[in-house]
Amino acid sequence: MSRSALVGNITAMLEDAGFTVSDRCAIRPKSFDIAARRSDDVLLVKVLANIDAFDGYTGAEMRRLGEYLDATPILVGLRTRNEELKPGVVYFRHGVPVFSPDTAMDYFIEEVPPLIYAAPGGLYVNIDGELLSDVRSEEEMSLGKLANELGVSRRTVSKYEDGMNASVEVAAELEEIFDAPLASPVDVLEGAEDVRDDVEDPDEPEADPDDARLVTVLTRVGFEVHPTMRAPFKAVSEDESGKQKMLTGHSDFNRTAEKRARIMSSVGQVTRTRSVYVVDRARQDAVEGTALIEREEFDRIDDPEELENLIRERAEVEEPA
C-alpha cells in the first residue's frame, strides 16, 4: 500500500470515529500529516509504512507541537524493517506512541484501548497493583505463595503491587491464577508518560535568521514565539495568558505560500488556533481562514489586540471568486 493511500485510510478511519480531520499537510518538510479533533482530544498524526523512517528530529518536533497545541502526537505505521507491528500493542519511537492501523481502529472506533506496550526486552502490561493486592488478600494467598506460583521472588510480587509493570507472560499467569482482569489500559491520549521510552524533553530550536523580523514584531507586541523546523508554519505564537495561539508564517506570496496558508487554515480550525501569513504583497485579504498581512503593515503593529483584530477582520472576509 502506498503511503498516500495509507494516509487516506487513516483519515477515513478517524472521520468514522467522529474526529474532524484537517487537510493533509502535503508539503515538505512536514513533521505530521494530519491534525484531528474529537471533543477535547486533539491528535497530530504522522503516517509511515515503515516506522524506522521516523527520525529523532521529527519525533522532537511532534512532541514540541503537542505541547504548544495541547495535542497528542501519534505515529501510525505498518511495520519495522524486521517485522509487522502487532495489533493491540503500543510501540514508541523517540517518545511518540506508535499504533498499527488495527490498533488505531480498535482504540478510536471500537473504544478498546491497548493493554500491551513494547519496551526494550519485550512486551509489557500495566498491572493494577492495588487490584492485585486486593484479590490476593481475598484469596488469602501470601506473597510467598504467589511468588512460587509465578516463579519469581516475594520482592518482585511486592513490586507488582506497588505498580511495577509485568511482562505479558506474567500478566497472563496472574489473570489465570485469580480469574480476573488485572491489566490497566495504556493511556495514550495522556501521553503514556508512565510507559513511554525514556526520552528527554526536546529543546526548542533557534529561530531561523530569515524569521528574525517576524519574531521581533511578535515578541514586541507581547507574544512568545515557538519556532518550528518541519511544520507547514514557521512558528506557534501565544500571548502572555497562553490562551490565544497563532500559527504564523511568512514568505513571498506565491503558489507554495498559498498552499501553506491553506494548510495552516485547516490545521488551525482543528486545533482552534488562528493563523496569519506575512507576505511581501497581498493580492487578497486571506487564504481561507489564514489572514494575509503585508510586511510593512505587520512591522507597524504595536499591541496584541491590534494584531488580533486585524487577523479576525481579514480572515472573515470572503476571498474573491
The pLDDT assigned to 308 comes to 87
DSSP-assigned beta bridge partners for residue 183: 127
Q: Scan for cell 529523532, then name that residue.
A: 56
Residue range 285-296, pLDDT digits in tens: 999 999 999 999
Q: State residue 192's pLDDT score.
A: 61
- Taking the C-alpha atoms of residue 258 and residue 280, their distance in angstroms, rounded to an integer, is 13
Can you name the CATH fold of 3-114?
Trna Endonuclease; Chain: A, domain 1 (3.40.1350)
End-to-end CA distance of the chain: 37
User: Strand, helix or coil at 32?
Assistant: coil
170: nearest Cα among 121, 138, 125? 125
Residue 29: count of CB within 10 angstroms of its CB: 13
The CATH code of domain 209-315 reads: 3.40.1350
Residue 105 pLDDT greater than 90, yes or no: yes
Q: Is the pLDDT of residue 317 over 60?
A: no
pLDDT, tens digit (0-9, with 9 covering 90-100), for 131-171: 999 999 999 999 999 999 999 999 999 999 998 889 999 99
Q: Which residue has the higher pLDDT, 15 or 180?
A: 15
CA 172 to chain centre: 31
- Domain residue spans of the chain: 3-114, 124-184, 209-315
Confidence check: pLDDT of 314 > 70 = yes
CA–CA separation, 123 and 91 (whole Å): 9
Q: What is the pLDDT of residue 305?
A: 86
pLDDT reading at 114 higher than 90: yes
| Residue 201 pLDDT | 67
SS3 state of residue 145: helix
Q: What is the pLDDT of residue 49?
A: 95
Reply yes or no on whether the pLDDT at 180 is more than 60: yes
What number is the average pLDDT over the span 219-245?
Answer: 89
| Listed range (80-89, 124-133, 173-182, 195-204) with the worst mean pLDDT | 195-204
pLDDT digits (tens, 9 = 90+) for 68-102: 999 999 999 999 999 999 999 999 999 999 999 99
Residue-wise pLDDT tens digits, 37-49: 999 999 999 999 9
The amino acid occupying position 67 is E
- CA pair distance 314, 321, nearest whole angstrom: 16
Protein fold of 124-184: 434 Repressor (Amino-terminal Domain) (1.10.260)
Task: Give the pLDDT band (50/70/90) at residue 208.
Answer: confident
273-283 pLDDT, tens digit per residue, is 999 999 999 88
pLDDT of 163 reads 83
Length, in residues, of the chain = 321
* 229-238 pLDDT tens trace: 889 999 999 9
Give the closest residue to 239 by CA, choosing from 307, 309, 304, 299.
Answer: 304
Report CA 75 to chain centroid distance, whole Å: 8
Q: Look up residue 51 and give its amino acid.
A: I
71 near 111, Cβ under 8 Å? no
3-state secondary structure of 211: helix
Q: What is the mean pLDDT of the chain?
A: 90
pTM above 0.85, yes or no: yes
* Position 199 pLDDT exceeds 70: no
Sheet holding 235-238, edge to edge: 224-227, 235-238, 245-251, 274-279, 290-294, 286-287
pLDDT bucket at 124, cuts 50 / 70 / 90: very high
